[in-house]
Chain A
């Protein structure tokens, strides 16, 4: 126990703890409508775009966070538009975008700095990556996401459950979908440097899936997903400190364990 408490003596771990817990919470909340609307892979696609943007930013000497944020938000907005046009299916659009962004990122990196530890930490995350501005940004993000879910809970439910009915009865569906995807983009950009581009999408998908095994009410699913995500992140962070394993992978393993547990409980 004292060993666990001693980890908070390191400022970088405190920062990682704050950012990680808040990002996990946001990702889980946003994940419920995304998973239910069959946009599970949007987090994965956006994280690869974020990787490409980071590589370009590092190569050109831009501030990584402030360059990748607008790029990923734009990608999220585009993905939504493409998915709505119905000419290309959403999963194909995400796959195309994520592979292209990854390819651009890899080419830019190999032409400039080469495949260094920097690239490795973008792909699989690093606990050292969180700065002060990340903390400020994640607190703001969490406030926005929580405000959205508290104030517009019923509208979010209606849009998630049945878009055409909501549209016909005058709910501004487009606005809510845009908000959801922009907030998802923010969450992904903030979380990926700690969790890693390959692993961040699990924060979006796992808690929603686990909660859906156990609960029948939409409200319970949302609340449980958020709570479970924070618990899993704390366990993962502690585990990674004790076992000296990468934090992103450890959190994902915790999420997987929680999902298996929920699936087993839900079957009874």
Chain B
């Protein structure tokens, strides 16, 4: 694959206080990539995410955060309950994405304001810009946060369980939006998710982490791999029940 390396793990071990959950992790996110991170609860997904964002250092190995160093990393965290009734307009929330641009931020520039409006338009929520964040539906709130992430960066988006709490229609909408951003705008996406079906359908690469082993490859390779087969089978049984 050509293009730039946005994010890379080289021989990384993750875990808490010398108890590794995961060892010798090795993968690369290229520009324009779409990676879904799968794994059971407690497998170390959130620890991995923290290391990818540079919030906690890995136990061993190196995480190359090229996109973040350029200020080209946008992040969509899980929503907290406190946010759902927050008194702020959509515009205020989206503009706060620009704070990662280094320097004095006394007021947002006209250029930043028009860029924010452009991202709102791209996500189809321009008419919501003067609305109060707490009055929006879950799907609309998620789009607002996505617009904020785009203000922060246009090369790599890291999403933490973006469809949790969304209804099926809003979930499909969000995947469509991500497909558009990835396909048309060339935004690389790394998404942590529990939605295996969507991951296999939408993502170019799957990173599965769990119980001391990990897998990285395309969706087809994943289904042939042992951990993929097991996860897929468990999901089907779960689905039947």
Contacts and interface: CB of A to CB of B under 8 A. Distances in A.
User: How many A residues are at the interface, by size bracket?
Assistant: 20 to 34
A161 B87 contact: no
Interface in A145-174: 151, 154-155, 157-158, 161-162, 164-171
17 contacts: A36-B87, A154-B99, A157-B96, A158-B96, A161-B86, A165-B76, A165-B77, A166-B99, A167-B53, A168-B73, A169-B75, A171-B100, A216-B89, A216-B132, A216-B135, A218-B86, A218-B89
Interface in A108-166: 151, 154-155, 157-158, 161-162, 164-166
A202 B135 CA distance: 27
Interface of A: 36-38, 151, 154-155, 157-158, 161-162, 164-171, 211-212, 215-219, 221
B96 A170 contact: no
B86 A36 contact: yes
Contact of B93 (A36, A38, A161, A167): A161
Interface of B: 53-55, 71, 73, 75-78, 80, 82-83, 86-89, 92-93, 95-97, 99-100, 102, 105-106, 108, 131-132, 135, 145, 148-149, 152, 158
A212 B85 CA distance: 10
Main secondary structure of the interface of B (DSSP, over half): mixed
B58 to A, nearest CB: 16
A169 B88 contact: no
A220 to B, nearest CB: 8
Main secondary structure of the interface of A (DSSP, over half): helix
B87 A221 contact: yes
B204 to A, nearest CB: 23
Most-contacted residue by chain B among A37, A162, A211 (CB, 10 A) = A162
B198 to A, nearest CB: 23
A158 B88 CA distance: 11
B148 A165 contact: yes
Nearest to A38: B82
B98 to A, nearest CB: 8
Contact of A169 (B89, B100, B131, B145): B100
A25 to B, nearest CB: 19
Given A170-B100, A171-B99, 16 more contacts: A36-B86, A36-B87, A37-B82, A38-B82, A154-B108, A161-B88, A164-B75, A164-B78, A165-B75, A168-B55, A168-B73, A168-B77, A171-B100, A216-B132, A218-B88, A218-B92
